[in-house]
Amino acid sequence: MRRAVALRLYAGLATMGLATATGVVLTMPAASAAPGGPTGYATQNGGTTGGAGGQTVRATTGTAIHQALCSRASSSTPITIQVEGTINHGNTSKVSGDSCNTDDDRIELKQISNVTIVGVGSGAVFDQLGIHIREASNIIIQNVTVKNVKKSGSPTSNGGDAIGMESGVRNVWVDHVTLEASGGESEGFDGLFDMKDDTKYVTLSYSILRNSGRGGLVGSSESDRSNGFVTYHHNLYENIDSRTPLLRGGIGHMYNNHYVGISKSGINSRAGARARVDNNYFEDSKDVLGTFYTDEAGYWQVGGNIFDNVTWSSRSGDNNPAGPNPQSNTTVSIPYSYDLDGADCVPGVVSQTAGADKGLKVSDGSCSPQTPDPTPTPTDPGPTPTDPTPTPSQPGGTNLSIGAGSDGSGKASGTSYGNVRDGDMGTYWSPTGSTGSISIKWGSVTTVSKINIREAAGSEGNIGSWRVVDHDTGAVLTSGSGAGVITFPQTSLRKITFEITGSSGTPRVAEFETYAG
């Protein structure tokens, strides 16, 4: 039987006086969303900036959030959405548009990029309404509460996940949020923070996860191992049965978290996963680290943790706890810098910083909570200069695309992948929609440090945001917007991909030239 759970009543959350039943979206001055910047794995793969540099609007209903997404010029146009009040089924409906793909029963961030959702004013509560991120990138969610999202019973939303990510999601930073349920699966709830189907480069920081049967997972089954590179730090896991998190394949980094009241199992590294577990405080809990419920082992590197009144079960069959004296059985290299608080002060630091409506306080690595300096509001830069930006000169040397191969995502009727490497500006490749990818490939390893994307006549300026990817490894070599000459550190590879993530019209790539230097 699940133990009783405690519910917190949220009071004093009223909509703005000027809001209507369907909500309001107002153009606002630039906001200081996400002060301090992302941390952990969200800083990798090109980084996570959310809606920085774009318009800022305010929303008091779910419909207004969807409308803000759908009103953008494209699905990748940066936007910050400030949210205040209670968002629920009664004020959330689907909105249609070329720059969005929304739904009625959740906040839908699907096939989009460059978005920040941040709670402001008296607070933002998503009540029984989950947030779904699918086929999306560069997303920030900050300073909101998501509670009581159900997969069975009524009303249902988001498969029972408070925040769920799936299908090629990249670069998500979730910070200073409160995620909670009021029971486990038998009461209709699922995970609080789930990732599956190729979700990578995610950070969950300064957040509270509580009163749930399941904290969250990375990978939906033993075969779903394409996820990973997830950081969890300065979070409170409280009154959770299991999955803090469940990690299948991939790499997870857990540091400076406070785990209290974990009743069945905690960090469950399995199916080849590797967990780096640093300076956490585990309290009044059971089996807080190990491989559980499977014979497919996972691994961990531990250091600096405190185990306060933690009990450990015996090893048998599919139950392999790391304790009672956890030892490292792998090594995990971390590619980013981070400041570790001592584990003994983690409960105090986390209690002052984690969760929504805590003033976005963070730790400086010396056990002392700090309020980040607000991002300065830009001053008026004055008139835009009339002199055009000089066009980069054409690269010198041999165009390595001539004689190479090419492929990509779906191509529009009448176009060909080969048209981007034939030296003819009169032919071109177009994706089937507003986004897509085109690749140049060689039979042997080739060194490249510069490409030139040339748009066909009449389509100049249509290409918006893009990424250049080493197809062999999946690494993002560089990202930006607009066609032309693109440089990046010299890289040896067999296949390089130009991925168009946003456009203002139909992209037409006449030539995808590649150069060694």
Please, which residues bridge with residue 252 across strands? 230, 275
Q: Is 347 helix (H, G, I), strand (E, B) or coil?
A: helix
d(CA 133, CA 262): 27
Chain center to CA of 30: 22
Q: What would the two tokens of residue 355 be?
A: 């969760």
Look-up: residue for tokens 């067999």? 494
CA distances from 261 to 2, 3, 213, 283, 287 (A): 12, 10, 11, 7, 11
CB count within 10 Å of CB 72 equals 23
CB 406, CB 440: distance < 8 Å: yes
CA distances from 421 to 247, 318, 429, 459, 479 (A): 42, 54, 10, 18, 21
Chain center to CA of 349: 25
d(CA 190, CA 187): 9
CB 53, CB 60: distance < 8 Å: no
CB 286, CB 310: distance < 8 Å: yes
Buried/exposed 256-272: b ≥16 CB within 10 Å, e otherwise:
bbbbbbbbbbbbbbbbe
Look-up: residue for tokens 């991002």? 375
Q: Is 419 helix (H, G, I), strand (E, B) or coil?
A: helix
d(CA 285, CA 348): 18
* Residue 422 neighbours by CB under 8 Å, 6+ apart: 402
CB count within 10 Å of CB 182 equals 18
Task: Please count the residues of the chain.
Answer: 517
Q: Is 38 helix (H, G, I), strand (E, B) or coil?
A: coil
* Catalytic site positions: 243
